[in-house]
């Protein structure tokens, strides 16, 4: 497969008379964009905002992030989800870099929703504090799930996915500033010099734990709770085959933006033919029952061994129950002779003294930590809040709480907040963005 991604670098975003991109400036007609969003009659309230790095703006509850993209050949951006079910990973794609579409709830949040600060101390905790963002703040008529801890957020998330493609239409017929090419030959017909290098697979474990449909990560529009581990071409991941689910404590989430830009995949691509022979992606899942976890680990190990992998990189979305999937997969790979490196966060408690993963094994001796989800963070009040900050202060919101006998409420009367790292939207950045390091004392 050969995928060409033509990049357009967004330096500024403004509202104006027409949707356009020129000399680094993206112009959006706000009313036309809102009219497009309101075509879904589930959307009851909607507004658009522009937020930029350094602005003292806080957003909560944040539900999804998407990079604006479009296909010049008119295929849908997310095949099988929004658009015809066709092969992803081939052809040409236009992408708007340094920006994202963020989806923020007007009122209600659950533990899959989070916080983004565009300025101050909180800016560093998520990638999206560094981007120019078009922010959709909306509410829906999905009253049945407003007070639920878990929300499908289907109307809101779908609105964001559609809006990202709608906005990128302005670069559909333009010439990119530069082009990234992603191409991998057939696994068994590669140059002999490449085949001499250590062969490596990337194992992804997206969140797929809920048996009720509508919450899990989608692949080609299909709920991944239904699948067993399978081999995917890395280009499929970069090209919209996966859409983020709504289920997962939010710092651990992989947004759709993370799939579209997955740094781990790009890093393996960069070393292909130099230091490694990159075989591809084993797309696994996360399960609840023990036999389901063991079955998935068997599939992953068999696939890796059959492909001739010498090494594997395993990345986990989430923590807690999914740690059993992560460790089980890691051990199964080591047992068939595939040297493995893991990437995950930890849940070591607010004092950092608890066991980092729910289950451990001595064979898991090479793990990259992306931080402690329970670490306490205090942030001052911001000039502007988009959404509803009170959502952070409801019990059931990841990392936030209504009241604590020692710490008080997460949302203080002056607008400052105290919470766990758990509340930072996609803050652990396990897909490869994480700037965090461990310290020994």
What's the average model confidence in pLDDT over 402-413? 95
Averaged pLDDT, 103-126: 94
Query: Which pLDDT tens digit goes with each residue over 195-243?
Result: 999 999 999 999 999 989 999 999 999 999 999 999 999 999 999 999 9
Query: What 8-state DSSP symbol labels residue 126?
Result: S
- State whether residue 35 is helix, strand or coil: helix
Residue in the block written with tokens 């942030």 = 379
pLDDT of residue 384: 98
Average confidence (pLDDT) over 269-284: 98
Mean pLDDT confidence for 405-417: 96
Percent of the chain with pLDDT over 90: 89
Tokens 């991941």 label which residue?
A: 237
Give the residue among 180, 151, 149, 146 at the shortest CA–CA distance from 67: 180
pLDDT above 70 for 182? yes
Dihedral of alpha carbons 241, 246, 247, 251, sign: positive
Predicted confidence band of residue 148 (pLDDT cuts 50, 70, 90): confident
Taking CA atoms, 395 is separated from 236, 306, 390, 410, in Å, by 38, 47, 11, 10
> If we measure between CA atoms, which residue out of 257, 302, 266 comes closest to residue 102?
257
Q: Give phi and psi for 220, each to the nearest 5.
A: 50, 40
User: φ and ψ at 9, to 5 degrees?
Assistant: -95, 115
Residues 388-407 pLDDT 10s: 999 999 888 889 999 999 99
- Region 7-21 average pLDDT: 98
- The average pLDDT across 66-89 equals 95
CA atoms within 13 A on the CB side of 22: 7
**Residue the block writes with tokens 């608890």:** 354
Residue 438 pLDDT exceeds 70: no
pLDDT in tens, 377-391: 999 999 999 999 999
pLDDT of residue 109: 86
Is residue 73 within 8 Å of residue 92, measured between CB atoms? yes
439 or 289, which is more confident: 289
| b/e sequence 44-62, b meaning 16+ C-beta within 10 Å | eebebbbbeeebebbbbbb
Q: How confident is the model at residue 150 (pLDDT cuts 50, 70, 90)?
A: confident
Instruction: Name the nearest CA neighbour of 63 among 107, 102, 33.
Output: 102
Average pLDDT of every residue of the chain = 95
Q: Please report the pLDDT score of residue 441 as a whole number.
A: 62
Contact between 166 and 70 (Cβ < 8 Å): no
Helix, strand and coil in the chain, % to nearest 5: 25, 30, 45
Using CA atoms, how far apart are residues 142 and 64, in angstroms rounded to an integer? Answer: 17
Six token digits for residue 79: 């095949």
**d(Cα 394, Cα 322) in Å, to the nearest integer?**
25
DSSP 352: S
Ranges assigned E (strand) in 119-221: 132-140, 178-183, 199-205, 218-219
pTM of the model: 0.96
* Residue pair 336/304 in contact by the 8 Å Cβ criterion: yes
């Amino acid at each position: 497969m050969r995928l060409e991604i033509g990049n357009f670098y967004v330096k500024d975003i403004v509202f104006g008379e027409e949707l356009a991109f020129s000399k680094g400036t993206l112009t959006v007609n706000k009313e036309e964009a809102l009219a497009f969003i309101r075509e879904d009659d589930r959307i009851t309230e909607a507004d658009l905002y522009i937020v930029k790095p350094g602005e003292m703006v806080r957003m909560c509850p944040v539900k999804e992030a998407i990079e604006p993209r479009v296909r010049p050949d008119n295929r849908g951006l997310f095949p099988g989800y929004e658009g015809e079910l066709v092969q992803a990973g081939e052809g040409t794609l236009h992408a708007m870099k340094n920006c994202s579409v963020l989806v923020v709830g007007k009122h209600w949040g659950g533990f899959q929703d989070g916080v983004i600060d565009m300025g101050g101390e909180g800016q560093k905790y998520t990638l999206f504090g560094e981007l120019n963002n078009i922010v959709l703040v909306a509410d829906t008529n999905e009253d049945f799930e407003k007070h639920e801890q878990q929300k499908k957020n289907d109307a809101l998330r779908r609105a964001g996915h559609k809006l990202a493609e709608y906005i990128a239409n302005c670069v559909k017929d333009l010439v990119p500033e530069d082009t990234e090419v992603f191409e991998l030959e057939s696994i068994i017909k590669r140059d002999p010099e490449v085949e001499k290098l250590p062969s490596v697979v990337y194992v992804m474990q997206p969140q797929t734990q809920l048996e009720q449909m509508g919450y899990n990560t989608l692949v080609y529009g299909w709920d991944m709770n239904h699948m067993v581990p399978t081999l995917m071409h890395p280009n499929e991941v970069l090209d919209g085959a996966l859409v983020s689910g709504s289920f997962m404590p939010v710092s651990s989430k992989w947004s759709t933006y993370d799939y579209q830009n997955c740094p781990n995949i790009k890093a393996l691509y960069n070393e292909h033919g130099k230091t490694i022979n990159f075989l591809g992606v084993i797309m696994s899942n996360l399960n609840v029952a023990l036999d389901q976890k063991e079955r998935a680990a068997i599939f992953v190990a068999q696939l890796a061994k059959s492909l001739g992998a010498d090494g594997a990189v395993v990345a986990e979305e989430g923590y807690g129950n999914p740690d059993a999937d992560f460790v089980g997969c890691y051990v199964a790979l080591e047992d068939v002779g595939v040297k493995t490196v893991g990437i995950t966060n930890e849940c070591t408690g607010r004092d950092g003294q608890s066991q980092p993963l729910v289950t451990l094994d001595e064979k898991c001796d090479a793990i990259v930590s992306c931080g402690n989800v329970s670490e306490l963070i205090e942030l001052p009040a911001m000039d502007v809040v988009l959404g509803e900050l009170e959502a952070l202060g409801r019990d059931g919101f990841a990392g936030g709480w209504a009241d604590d006998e020692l710490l008080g409420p997460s949302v203080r009367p002056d607008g400052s907040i105290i919470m766990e790292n758990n509340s930072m939207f996609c803050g652990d950045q396990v897909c490869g963005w994480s700037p965090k390091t461990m310290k020994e004392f």
